[in-house]
Amino acid sequence: MYGLVNQAVEELVRAQHGDATWDLIKARAGVDTPAFVGMSPYPDEVTYRLVGAASEHLGVPAGDLLEAFGEYWTLYTARKGYGNILALAGSTFVDFVQHLDHLHAHVAMSFPELRPPSFWCTDVTDGSLRLHYRSTREGLAPMVVGLLRGLGKMFDTAITIEHVADRARGADHDEFQIGFTPPA
């Protein structure tokens, strides 16, 4: 994944646990890159090892860390100069989740080594939708839960999330049943 992802993991861990803890986690992961370059691609293994080492060192399940990371990501990217791309995707929670594939296609024009997941919506009503998520990567459904929570905060929209189809349990792809209440 692009270094931007590892940079966000790093910033989150440093902010919540301090610089010394980050150094220990990086060493435990066997990652000796002095500094990640946001616009350079890295093997996925680097990210997975960092999350695994953080999970062990902090005694927190990897899924919890992935969820926290997902929640952090949207605000992080907005702050790091990708606010325009985010704004392009939509101005409401529903609009945004319906345009995630467009957003990734747009990013991929400039960064061709992007391997974006695919998101699509079915059963859209005034207050609910079913979000489908398909990825080349495994084990990241908890991150998607965090991403959705982050979007809910960004758009001031209360959301509920039910993981109704789980690829880790043999489903073809992950599905989330989402309820939402936009601001009055």
Q: Which residues bind ligand 1DX (CB under 6 A)?
A: 1-2, 4-5, 38-39, 73-74, 77, 82, 100, 103, 107, 111, 114-117, 135, 137, 140, 143, 147-148, 151
Taking the complex as a whole, the smallest distance from the CB of residue 176 to ligand 1DX amounts, in Å, to: 10
d(CA 178, CA 29): 35
Residue number with CB closer to ligand 1DX (54 or 147): 147
Residue number with CB closer to ligand 1DX (24 or 124): 124
Taking the complex as a whole, the smallest distance from the CB of residue 108 to ligand 1DX amounts, in Å, to: 9
Taking the complex as a whole, the smallest distance from the CB of residue 57 to ligand 1DX amounts, in Å, to: 22
Q: Residue with CB nearest ligand 1DX?
A: 135
Single-letter amino acid, residue 15: A
Q: What is the DSSP letter of 169?
A: G
Which phi and psi angles does 85 have, rounded to 5°? Answer: -65, -40
Residue number with CB closer to ligand 1DX (15 or 87): 87
- Between strands 128-134 and 118-122, the pairing is antiparallel
Residue 39 and residue 73 in contact, taking contact as beta carbons nearer than 8 Å: no
Residue 174 and residue 165 in contact, taking contact as beta carbons nearer than 8 Å: yes
Residue number with CB closer to ligand 1DX (68 or 143): 143
Which phi and psi angles does 120 have, rounded to 5°? Answer: -145, 155
